[in-house]
């Protein structure tokens, strides 16, 4: 990162240098502490949910092999995170391209359902229209209490979709709802830090699915591994 001034915009700064300097020092310290907390939470979440992620990746990759489509959804900033994950599966440069779609992409559909039957049915109504048994529903809620996310899972579970939920805080109603095949709870009360950890978990899930869908990724032979990883992987993979 570097600060590149356009000069003519910034040169007339004239204020109490001491106070601005103190504020900037505070901001630097705050940024460092927040970044460290983000890093800690991502790492602890990845480690705590490691085996759950493995199991979910296994189930998701089996569904993709059988021709499933992945539907993602969430509200507000979580809707943008859901869009990010759908794009990660569908068009990221790092892996096989898989059928995935975000349910917040079309404002006409969203406002029609919101206006006609209520926001709490915004996602379930679309899933009734689009989804088939065998597909995958993946929803995001930092509180775990988003009504339309819970309703979407309730609707799709009994229709035979695989249900994967991401929550924060204590998991909220989502964690206790009994409608999730796989539930990932980031134990934090900071919305931004939860979103960052959820992005890391989603990314890991995608990478593991990619690995399982790659012919030599499911049970890699020792001779085909990268040299640097050989010694670490001499042990059986599933030691706990």
Site residues for another protein, window 158-197 (CB under 8 A)? 191-192, 195-197
Residues numbered 68-87 forming contacts with another protein, rule: CB under 8 A: 76-77, 79-81, 83-85, 87
Its sign, for the CA torsion 36, 41, 43, 44, is positive
Burial state string for 12-22 with b = 16 or more CB within 10 A and e = fewer than 16: eeeeeeeeeee
Residues numbered 92-111 forming contacts with another protein, rule: CB under 8 A: 92-95
Judged by DSSP in three states, 140 sits in strand
Q: Which of 43, 65, 130, 160 binds another protein (CB under 8 A)?
A: 43
Per CB under 8 A, does 18 bind another protein? no
Nearer to another protein, 84 or 159 (CB): 84
Nearer to another protein, 59 or 87 (CB): 87
Nearer to another protein, 45 or 177 (CB): 45
Nearer to another protein, 5 or 115 (CB): 5
Per CB under 8 A, does 219 bind another protein? no
* Nearest-angstrom CA–CA distance, 166 and 81: 11
* Nearest-angstrom CA–CA distance, 150 and 73: 11
* Nearest-angstrom CA–CA distance, 96 and 153: 27
């Amino acid at each position: 990162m570097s600060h590149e001034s356009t000069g003519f915009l910034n040169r007339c700064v004239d204020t109490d240098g001491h106070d601005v300097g103190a504020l900037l020092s505070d901001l630097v310290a705050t940024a460092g502490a927040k970044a460290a907390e983000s890093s800690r939470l991502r790492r602890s979440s990845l480690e705590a949910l490691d085996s759950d992620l493995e199991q979910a990746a296994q189930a998701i990759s089996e569904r993709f092999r059988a021709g499933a489509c992945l539907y993602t959804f969430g509200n507000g900033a979580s809707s943008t995170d859901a869009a990010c994950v759908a794009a990660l599966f569908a068009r990221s440069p790092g892996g096989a391209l898989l059928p995935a779609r975000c349910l917040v992409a079309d404002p006409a559909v969203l406002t029609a359902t919101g206006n006609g039957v209520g926001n709490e049915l915004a996602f379930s109504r679309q899933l009734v229209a689009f989804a088939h048994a065998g597909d995958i529903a993946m929803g995001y809620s930092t509180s775990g209490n988003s009504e339309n996310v819970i309703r979407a899972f309730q609707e799709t579970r009994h229709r035979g979709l695989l249900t994967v939920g991401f929550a924060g805080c204590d998991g909220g109603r989502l964690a206790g709802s009994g409608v999730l095949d796989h539930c990932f709870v980031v134990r934090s009360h900071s919305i931004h830090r939860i979103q960052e950890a959820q992005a890391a978990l989603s990314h890991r899930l995608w990478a593991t699915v990619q690995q399982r869908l790659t012919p030599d990724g499911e049970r890699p032979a020792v001779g085909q591994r990268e040299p640097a990883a050989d010694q670490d992987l001499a042990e059986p993979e599933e030691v706990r």
